Amino acid sequence: MLDFLWKNAVFNLVYGPLILGVAILLSIEDRTIALFLGVPLIAASLLTITIRVYLRRRARKSDPLAPDDTA
């Protein structure tokens, strides 16, 4: 149960700003405000996704029991 809550929280923290940023860009007609609010949310979310992927790959390389992805 705790694992599910943790994964759900990570999902919300990573993809929530991405969805919110896109929604702001699409819904607000004033481009200055939309860019000021939407672009930082999207950038922070994409940076977080990149860091998560990097850390997962790094952890997978250091785990000798992980399945081999090279095949």
**pLDDT band at residue 15 using 50, 70 and 90 as cut-offs:** confident
Q: Give the pLDDT of residue 61.
A: 75
67 backbone φψ class: left, alpha, beta (φ>0; ψ -120 to 50): beta
- Alpha carbons 65 and 14: distance in angstroms, whole number: 28
Q: Is the pTM of this model over 0.85?
A: no
Stretch (H or E) spanning 17: helix 2-27
What's the pLDDT tens digit per position in 45-61? 999 889 888 888 888 77
The helix, strand and coil proportions of the chain, stated in percent and rounded to the nearest 5, come to: 80, 0, 20
Domain ranges within the chain, ordered by starting residue? 7-59
